Each structure stands twice: as C-alpha cells, then as structure tokens.
C-alpha cells in the first residue's frame, strides 16, 4: 500500500507540474493551450533520446527537455499570434496530435510506436522502495521550485501585464504593454514546464510511447486546474493532487458498489469525473482557490 501511495504522489507531482504550466498559459495569460500533451511529449522524447541513446547524464536531459519545450512553445505561439480562445484551442490541439503522429511514424528518431524502453533514471532502480522515495523527493522539490518561481512571476509587474493581456489585449497594447512579446514569453515558459514534467515522467517510469501522450492527459490537467482555481499556482498544484486522488479513489469506490461489473465500474469512473467537474463548477465556479484581486501598488 505504501509503495502504491508513493507512486501516486510522484505521478500527482508530475501532473501538478503540468498544471503549473497550464496555470501560467491559460489561467494567467488567457491562452487556451490544448496542446499540453504535445509539450509533455516533446520534453519526454528530448530527454529520453539524449540520455538513452546520447549517453548524456539525466540533469542534462532535463535541461535539454526544457529548452526543447521552450523553443516549441515559442514557435507555436508566434505562429498562432492572431488566434485567441476557441481558435487557439483548436490549433494547439492539432499541434499535440501532430507531435503524436510524428512520434509514431518517424521511427528513426523516436523508436516509433514501440516507444523507448529502459530510459535511465539517474538513480539505481534496484533500491526498491528507496528509488521511489528518492524520485518522490526529487519531483516534489522540482515542483516546489517551479511553484515558488511561478508565484513570484505571477505577483510581479510582468504577471500583472499578463493578466492585462488576458482581460483585454487591445487595452494592454494601448497602455504600452508589448502584447506579442508577453504572450510569447509566457507561452514558452509554460511549454518548458510541461516539457520538464514529460522528461521526469519518462525517467521515472522508464518507458515512453506515443500512445501515452493522448489528449486525455490534457483534459485531465484542465480538470485539475479548473478544480483548483486556474489563476493561482497553489490552486493548480492542489487541483492536480486532488485529481489523482479522485481518479484512484473511484477505483476503490467502484469495487465496493454491489452488482456492478468491471465494465460498468470503468464507465462509472469516467462518468464520475464529469459529474464531479459539473458539481464543482456549480458550487465553486472559480475553483477551490480563486484568484485574489491584487491591490494596485501605492
């Protein structure tokens, strides 16, 4: 049981990193990024190929993943400058699918649908429980750092400008904010965080394949961020832990229900995610940790 919970805390930490990414791009800047799974994949592949086939140490892989994510984020952002809201959502969703299709078919680069197995972890896997605890420590520490940095960024004048862009980018431009640059910066940083999460996921589980990076992951993270409160890094992180707790708790709840077959239980689990979201939006429409209104500096 303990190792199961440790494992879930690591996975939840990785989801929380993805939630930090989405909090910055969507919650603070207003860019609906449905391509999260794509950036997650880019990070995972960048780090996995570099460390497994290139022989680079894991920390170098993590840095390379962030760089790759930032570059991809920058490219996606500048090529979609004129798009907002639904249109940006469609294009970013398409981007994530394109990443998955490329990962499936460019076998020389990514190993194709076989995926990449035996990715080095940077820690000895035969430590047993120790390995998982060490991974938990590392992932949680990285999440803590990202969370702290994001809190500072969001509270800074730069963060305020991002919120201005979110509310009305024409007004922000009139007020002298460089809207394009702000959006590109925020999107690139957000993509780098998502890529870091992907790299950590690959190193921890030792295996990645295109099928992992389905839109389902993006949707889960949107749920987490919506539940926690999309404008606050704290809310996004807690939302991710709640999401994993909820997803796993439904497993045990379904077992207790009498007269429910395994298929019905699986369907009920998926339905319950939707019901929980509807209830949450009905009762706490701005999430559990709503964005605080900041006073103008004196």
Pairing type for strands 116-117 and 207-208 reads antiparallel
Q: Choose the binding region for other proteins from 106-114, 157-165, 171-179, 282-290 (rule: CB under 8 A).
A: 106-114
Q: Which is nearer to other proteins, 97 or 291 (CB)?
A: 97
Tell me how far apart the alpha carbons of residues 64 and 51 are, in angstroms, rounded to a whole number: 10
The binder of other proteins chosen from 84, 90, 160, 214 (CB under 8 A): 214
Give the CA distances from residue 24 to residues 2, 138, 167, in Å, rounded to whole numbers and listed in that order: 33, 22, 14
Chain center to CA of 270: 20
Q: Which is nearer to other proteins, 100 or 183 (CB)?
A: 100
Q: Choose the binding region for other proteins from 84-92, 139-147, 153-161, 198-206 (rule: CB under 8 A).
A: 198-206
Q: What is the DSSP letter of 235?
A: H
* Interaction of residue 107 with other proteins, rule CB under 8 A: yes
Give the CA distances from residue 151 to residues 70, 236, 259, in Å, rounded to whole numbers and listed in that order: 19, 11, 47
* Interaction of residue 212 with other proteins, rule CB under 8 A: yes
The binder of other proteins chosen from 145, 216, 245, 279 (CB under 8 A): 216
* Interaction of residue 7 with other proteins, rule CB under 8 A: yes
Tell me how far apart the alpha carbons of residues 74 and 138 are, in angstroms, rounded to a whole number: 27
With beta carbons less than 8 A apart as the criterion, state whether 12 and 215 touch.
no
Spell out, one character per residue from 222 to 261, where the chain touches other proteins: x when CB under 8 A holds, - when not.
Answer: -------------------------xx--x---x-----x
The binder of other proteins chosen from 85, 86, 168, 211 (CB under 8 A): 211
């Amino acid at each position: 049981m303990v190792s199961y919970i440790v494992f879930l805390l690591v996975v939840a930490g990785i989801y929380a990193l993805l939630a930090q990414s989405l909090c910055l791009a969507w919650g603070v800047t207003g860019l609906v990024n449905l391509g999260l799974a794509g950036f997650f994949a880019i990070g995972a592949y960048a780090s996995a190929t570099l460390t497994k086939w290139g022989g680079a140490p894991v920390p170098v892989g993590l840095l390379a993943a962030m760089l790759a994510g930032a570059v991809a984020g920058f490219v996606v952002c500048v090529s979609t400058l004129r798009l907002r809201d639904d249109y940006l959502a469609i294009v970013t969703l398409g981007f994530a699918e394109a990443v998955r299709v490329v990962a499936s078919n460019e076998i020389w680069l990514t190993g194709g649908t076989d995926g990449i197995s035996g990715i080095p972890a940077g820690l000895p896997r035969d430590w047993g429980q120790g390995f998982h605890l060490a991974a938990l420590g590392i992932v949680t520490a990285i999440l803590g750092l990202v969370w702290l940095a994001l809190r500072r960024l969001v509270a800074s004048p730069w963060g305020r400008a991002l919120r201005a862009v979110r509310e009305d980018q024409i007004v922000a431009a009139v007020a002298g904010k460089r809207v394009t640059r702000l959006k590109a910066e925020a999107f690139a940083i957000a993509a780098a965080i998502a890529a870091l999460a992907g790299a950590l996921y690959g190193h921890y589980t030792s295996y990645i394949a295109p099928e992992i990076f389905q839109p389902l992951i993006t949707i889960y993270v949107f749920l987490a961020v919506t539940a926690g409160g999309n404008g606050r890094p704290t809310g996004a992180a807690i939302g991710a832990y709640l999401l994993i707790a909820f997803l796993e708790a439904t497993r045990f709840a379904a077992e207790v229900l009498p007269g429910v077959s395994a298929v019905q239980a699986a369907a009920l689990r998926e339905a319950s995610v939707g019901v929980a979201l509807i209830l949450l939006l009905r009762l706490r429409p701005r999430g559990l940790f709503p964005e605080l209104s900041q006073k103008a500096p004196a």
